[in-house]
């Protein structure tokens, strides 16, 4: 029987070699695609890990910034309560003096106009002369109330700016220098 196969032996050998090459090629292809998929998954996992790390950092920084804002708000509230108490005490004493017929400090219209001009936003104030009319007189207590309200609003804006600066400082920047905020 082997004698019958001898003429086909070269063909059988070539077929086996081709079959082995096909199996090797298919195995290599399969291994290559598994390796490619593993590489893709590794990159995807790294991206997810980086995103989680950024999210955790943002949450942590958000908590720190919120804590700083809360501290500034608490300090501002204590100061506002103290100032309000003193302003109310002054105004009540001033009203009692007026009710008793004793003199109270009255600020003239020029003082009120000067204050209103200083308190107005720059875009609402022209470059011309300030008109003399329109401003009435004010007692010192009324002026004190207005000035303390103005300062309170300024401190709120100041705290907002400090919060923005704190937020900006913790952002990733290349070649950007931000000066430290006053404490």
Q: Are residues 52 and 21 in the same domain?
A: yes
Domain extent for 147: 66-121+135-169+178-183
Please give the structure tokens belonging to residue 35: 């390796």
Q: Are residues 16 and 51 in the same domain?
A: yes
- Residue by residue, pLDDT tens for the chain (183 residues) are 677 777 788 888 889 899 999 999 998 888 888 888 888 899 999 999 988 888 888 888 888 888 888 998 999 889 888 988 998 999 999 999 999 999 988 888 888 888 877 877 777 666 555 565 566 788 888 888 888 888 899 999 999 999 889 888 887 766 556 667 776
Q: Are residues 53 and 94 in the same domain?
A: no
Question: 3 in a domain, yes or no?
Answer: no
Q: Are residues 82 and 162 in the same domain?
A: yes
Q: Are residues 25 and 53 in the same domain?
A: yes
**CA–CA dist 182, 85 (Å, integer):** 27
Burial of residue 138 (CB within 10 Å: 0-12, 13-18, 19+) is buried
Question: 127 in a domain, yes or no?
Answer: no
**CA–CA dist 80, 97 (Å, integer):** 25
Q: Are residues 74 and 108 in the same domain?
A: yes
- H-type helices in the chain, by residue range? 2-5, 9-99, 109-119, 140-170
């Amino acid at each position: 029987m082997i004698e019958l196969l001898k003429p086909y032996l070269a063909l059988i050998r070539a077929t086996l070699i081709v079959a082995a090459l096909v199996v090797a090629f298919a195995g290599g292809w399969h291994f290559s695609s598994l390796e490619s998929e593993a590489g893709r998954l590794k990159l995807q996992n790294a991206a997810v890990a980086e995103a989680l790390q950024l999210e955790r950092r943002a949450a942590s920084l958000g908590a720190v910034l919120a804590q700083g804002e809360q501290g500034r708000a608490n300090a501002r509230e204590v100061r506002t309560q103290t100032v309000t108490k003193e302003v109310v005490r002054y105004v009540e004493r001033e009203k009692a003096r007026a009710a008793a017929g004793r003199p109270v400090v009255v600020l003239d219209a020029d003082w009120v106009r000067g204050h209103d001009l200083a308190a107005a936003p720059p875009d609402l104030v022209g470059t011309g002369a300030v008109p003399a009319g329109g401003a009435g007189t004010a007692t010192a207590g009324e002026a004190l109330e207005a000035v303390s309200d103005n300062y309170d609003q300024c401190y709120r804006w100041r705290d907002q700016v400090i919060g923005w600066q704190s937020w900006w400082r913790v952002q990733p920047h290349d070649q950007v220098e931000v000066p430290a905020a006053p404490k």
